[in-house]
């Protein structure tokens, strides 16, 4: 039996990844910062709700303590993320507080949750971490003219996702007993950016979640220290 925690899973890619993993037999802890929306999503797909705000150390510690008490953890999917904030003149907000908020959720949140989860993961026979990244966090894709990421300006969001890429590389080197991979889910219709249901353009979240679920369900011989998308490995 595989037990999996997914952060930011009350909607979007996180929820669809949770649905797919429940479908292949994982016991899924659906992490959400809002209790009401998290409980509703968990009930809908047959997961267990756990309150978890990735920017709040106490919330992260309480969530992992509960998961440990209920039997431990094999797989962590660091999915919670926020888009760039809108600036007063349109475009991306490039002030300190806005940048700190984006980095706090997208990058520091991964360190908080991963560090709290590692003692549990180290007890698993097949410990796996998936970091939901973005092509905007790939130096290769942002320099490759054929890739949309090379044409989409995202100073704060893109650099926060580049931090997610390097967190994946560094954790994979530092913690050899756990497999760490980054995923580019593809451009997906979600609420990323806060404009309402499917306000972010793209393909359905249920389609993009397949590559996230695939990396969450790798066996003991699966990859580590890679960046993956639908078609296979993506350049860093």
Ligand X SMILES: NC(=O)c1ccc[n+]([C@@H]2O[C@H](COP(=O)([O-])OP(=O)(O)OC[C@H]3O[C@@H](n4cnc5c(N)ncnc54)[C@H](OP(=O)(O)O)[C@@H]3O)[C@@H](O)[C@H]2O)c1
Nearest-approach distance from CB 39 to ligand X, in angstroms: 13
Establish if 80 lies at the interface with ligand X (CB under 6 A). yes
Span 199-218, contacts to ligand X by CB under 6 A:
200, 202
| Nearest to ligand X of 2, 10 (CB atom) | 10
Token pair recorded at residue 46: 């047959």
Residues 6+ apart with CB under 8 A from 132: 13, 14, 77, 78, 79, 81, 164, 182, 183, 185, 212
Q: What are phi and psi of 180, to 5 degrees?
A: -120, 125
Q: What are phi and psi of 39, to 5 degrees?
A: -60, -40
| Nearest to ligand X of 80, 126 (CB atom) | 80
Query: Out of 11, 15, 123, 157, which one is annotated catalytic?
Result: 157
173 is catalytic: no
157 is catalytic: yes
Query: Out of 11, 15, 123, 161, which one is annotated catalytic?
Result: 161
Q: Of these, 2, 3, 4, 10, which contacts ligand X (CB under 6 A)?
A: 10
Establish if 12 lies at the interface with ligand X (CB under 6 A). yes
Establish if 131 lies at the interface with ligand X (CB under 6 A). no
Nearest-approach distance from CB 185 to ligand X, in angstroms: 5
Establish if 6 lies at the interface with ligand X (CB under 6 A). no
| Nearest to ligand X of 11, 19 (CB atom) | 11
Establish if 28 lies at the interface with ligand X (CB under 6 A). no
Q: Of these, 64, 82, 167, 216, which contacts ligand X (CB under 6 A)?
A: 82
From its phi and psi, is residue 182 left (phi > 0), alpha (psi between -120 and 50) or beta?
beta
Token pair recorded at residue 133: 């990244």
Residue (of 103, 107, 219, 227) closest to 169 by Cα position: 227
Distance (Å, whole) CA 87 – CA 97: 12
Nearest-approach distance from CB 178 to ligand X, in angstroms: 20
Establish if 81 lies at the interface with ligand X (CB under 6 A). yes
* 67: Cα separation from own chain's centroid: 18
Establish if 134 lies at the interface with ligand X (CB under 6 A). yes
Secondary structure, 3-state, 59-114:
HHHHHHHHHHHCCCCCEEEECCCCCCCECCCCCECCCHHHHHHHHHHHHHHHHHHH
Query: What residues make contact with ligand X under the rule CB under 6 A?
Result: 7-8, 10-14, 33-34, 52-55, 79-82, 105, 132, 134, 185, 187-188, 190-192, 200, 202
Active-site residues: which are they?
A: 157, 161
């Amino acid at each position: 039996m595989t037990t999996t925690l997914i952060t930011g899973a009350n909607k979007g890619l996180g929820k669809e990844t949770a649905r797919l993993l429940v479908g292949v037999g994982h016991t899924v802890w659906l992490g959400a910062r809002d209790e009401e929306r998290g409980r509703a999503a968990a009930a809908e797909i047959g997961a267990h709700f756990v309150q978890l705000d990735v920017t709040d150390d106490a919330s992260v510690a309480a969530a992992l303590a509960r998961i440990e008490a209920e039997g431990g953890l094999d797989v962590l999917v660091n999915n919670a993320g926020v888009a760039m904030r809108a600036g007063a003149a349109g475009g991306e907000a490039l002030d300190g507080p806005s940048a700190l908020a984006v980095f706090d959720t997208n990058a520091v949140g991964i360190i908080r949750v991963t560090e709290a989860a590692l003692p549990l993961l180290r007890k698993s026979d097949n410990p796996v971490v998936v970091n939901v990244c973005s092509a905007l966090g790939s130096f290769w894709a942002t320099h490759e003219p054929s890739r949309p990421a090379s044409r989409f300006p995202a100073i704060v969001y893109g650099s926060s996702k580049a931090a997610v890429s390097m967190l994946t590389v560094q954790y994979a080197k530092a913690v050899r007993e756990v497999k760490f991979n980054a995923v580019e889910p593809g451009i997906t219709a979600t609420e990323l950016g806060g404009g309402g249901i499917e306000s972010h353009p793209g393909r359905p979240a249920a389609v993009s979640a397949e590559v996230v679920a695939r990396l969450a369900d790798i066996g003991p011989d699966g990859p580590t220290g890679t960046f993956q998308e639908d078609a296979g490995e993506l350049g860093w």
